Amino acid sequence: MTSNLIALIISAFAFAYIQAAQAEVVQVPQISAAQTSPSGAKRFDMSERMLDLAIAASSTALDDPIREHVAVSWRDLKPTLKSLETPFETLPGPLLNAMRTQVRWRTSSASERSDPDLIKEYKAANGVLAANDVDVEKLMLERRKIIAQNNAIGRGPNLEKLGTTIRLPGYIVPLTIDGGVVTEFLFVPVAGSCVHTPSPSPNQIIHIDYPKGVEFKSIFDAFWIEGELLAEPKVSDVAFYDGAANVESTYKLNASLVEVFTY
């Protein structure tokens, strides 16, 4: 009975997560699972991969209190940004829709503004806003301030995850390697990240010192990591296919475990 209840809870959580992911406006391109690495391992884009709760539940490194704070995807490492509609949130429905039309008009191209339907909608929105004494320019200025604020914090850490123990799947970009054993590396969600341009956002890169070392064969082989997540901005020298470059990372992980990813 207990096992059935646990399975039901896990299934419900997984379904809710999938529904939320599908509702995202920005979709992350996925790498086909059919692709393989030089060593024969399957290649995945781990950006949106949900943590396998069955694996987490069986991990000796994760007790119940810790599992409550486990990051279930790389997306969890991105900070929460303020909604661009925040300045409009107190407006009643018709005025909110009119402000959305304002935003659509101001962010559209010249060719889009020649669309008769959009022109008609824009003029109607202006009429509604003027009739209700809505200060459009003030609200748009507040929106621009939020955009600037989001841009400033968008590459930084998710403060809610700092100091917690996480478990994430991803790929190793070696920084220090000796005899096929890596002791310092960057951890990224997509195979080959940082060895081609552009690099992922700094909050999608984790710097890891792992004195114990992990056997490394290919940048296309996936691993699990577990450990305490900290904020430590760092610039690392990474060898690209076309030369060397500096790569920014937002996070540091005190890794307690690095193991080969299992499907």
DSSP character string of the chain: -HHHHHHHHHHHHHHHHHHHHHT-SSPPPPPPTT-B-TTS-B--B-TTPPP-HHHHHH-TT--HHHHTT---SGGGGSPPPPPTTGGGTTS-HHHHHHHHHHHHHHTS-TTGGG-HHHHHHHHHHHHHHHHTT--HHHHHHHHHHHHHHHHHHTTS--GGGTTSEEEEEEEEEEEEEETTEEEEEEEESBTTTTSSSSPPPGGG-EEEEEEEEEE---TT-EEEEEEEEEEEEEEEEEEETTEEEEEEEEEEEEEEEEEE---
Give the model's pLDDT for residue 165.
92
CA distances from 103 to 107, 151, 174, 211, 241 (A): 6, 18, 44, 52, 42
Gap between the Cα atoms of 51 and 118, Å rounded: 43
Q: What is the pLDDT of residue 243?
A: 61
pLDDT given at position 57: 37
Which residue stretches of the chain have pLDDT < 70?
Answer: 1-72, 195-197, 240-244, 263
Of 150, 147, 200, nearest to 170 by C-alpha is 200
Query: Which residue, 248, 238, 233, 156, is CA-closest to 196?
Result: 238
- Kindly report the average pLDDT of the chain as a whole number: 78
Model confidence pLDDT, tens digit, residues 77-124 = 999 999 999 999 999 999 999 999 999 999 999 999 999 999 999 999
pLDDT at residue 199, as a whole number: 79
pTM for this structure?
A: 0.66
pLDDT for residue 191: 85
Task: Answer positive or negative: Cα dihedral of 249, 251, 256, 259.
Answer: negative
Instruction: With CA atoms as reference, report the closest residue to 105 among 117, 120, 122.
Output: 122
Gyration radius (Cα) of the chain, Å: 23
